[in-house]
Amino acid sequence: MTNKTFKEFVSRIETYYSTSSNPVRIDEWAIKEYYNACFCVFDKDAKAFYSEIVSVFKFFPKVSEFREVAEKYRDKQNKTRHINTEFCYCCMNTGIVPYFKKGLKPFLEHEYEFVSRCYCESGKNRPDWPLCTAVVTQGELEWKARENYKKFGNIKSEEKHRAKEYVTTFIKGFGI
């Protein structure tokens, strides 16, 4: 789900669960957790996701409840899985290219980490994320790929297991 759709979704869901005596508002500290819980839902499925949430939960759902419903929509998108034919050192075949951005409220000097999709085939599994070339410079992408190649390009077979674990842990961090 893109940020724009998510904001609209949140405001609709807050309105739905609000009463005149008890307005519902997701706390700014919790909003990121809610976003993480449902970013796997495609924009085109946002309406269906909303309908399901309001029909299943009588009271405002917890993050874990959101995640449970959102997971169903993830299965849908996984039906067409794009797989790299050549190994991509830019994203290590995860399709994910993390990037940093600062100047955001409330901590303007703090660098926040975001994710973008790689330009390779695996990146197509995340069509809702911004394309890495739009948020990271070409030079940085080349640097990333070179560094990964240096680290993993000539990996020995006994190190492969450890490298796989590293990538699996990294992917888990993004809830994928």
Scan for tokens 């917890």, then name that residue.
62
Region near Zn ion per CB under 5 A, out of 62-70, 89-97, 126-134, 159-167: 89-97
Q: Tell me the site size for Zn ion, rule CB under 5 A.
A: 5
Query: Which residue number, 41 or 88, has a Cβ lying nearer to Zn ion?
Result: 88
Nearest approach in angstroms of CB 75 to Zn ion is: 23
Query: Residue 90 interacts with Zn ion (CB under 5 A)?
Result: yes
Query: Residue 46 interacts with Zn ion (CB under 5 A)?
Result: no
Nearest approach in angstroms of CB 119 to Zn ion is: 7
Query: Residue 96 interacts with Zn ion (CB under 5 A)?
Result: no
Neighbours of 27 (CB within 10 A): 8
- Of 115-144, binders to Zn ion (CB under 5 A) are 118, 120
Nearest approach in angstroms of CB 84 to Zn ion is: 7
Nearest approach in angstroms of CB 122 to Zn ion is: 5
Instruction: At 4, list the tokens.
Output: 């724009």
Nearest approach in angstroms of CB 21 to Zn ion is: 51
Exposure of 3 in the CB half-sphere (CA atoms within 13 A): 6
Query: Residue 88 interacts with Zn ion (CB under 5 A)?
Result: yes
Q: Given the rule CB under 5 A, which residues bind Zn ion?
A: 88, 90-91, 118, 120
